[in-house]
Amino acid sequence: MTINDLAKLYDRLTPRERLPLIIAASERGDEAEADRLAHAAPRIHVGLPDYHGLSQAVLLLTLFHLNEQLDRALAFWQGLAMAALRDAGTLGAEDQAAAEGLWDRGRMAGYRLCVEADAWKRVHAELNADPESLLRHLRGHEAAKLAEETARRFPWTAEEAAAYLRRVGPADAEVPTVETAVQAMREFIDQQVAWWR
pLDDT digit string (tens) for 69-105?
Answer: 999 999 999 999 988 888 888 877 777 778 888 889 9
pLDDT of residue 83: 87
Alpha-carbon dihedral angle through residues 10, 14, 20, 23, given to the nearest 10 degrees? 60
90, 121 in Cβ contact below 8 A? no
DSSP 53-116: HHHHHHHHHHHHHHHHHHHHHHHHHHHHHHHHHHHHT-S-HHHHHHHHHHHHHHHHHHHHHHHH
What pTM does this model have?
A: 0.79
106, 77 in Cβ contact below 8 A? yes
33, 169 in Cβ contact below 8 A? no
Phi, psi for residue 40 in degrees, rounded to 5: -85, -10
Domain edges within the chain = 3-39, 52-196
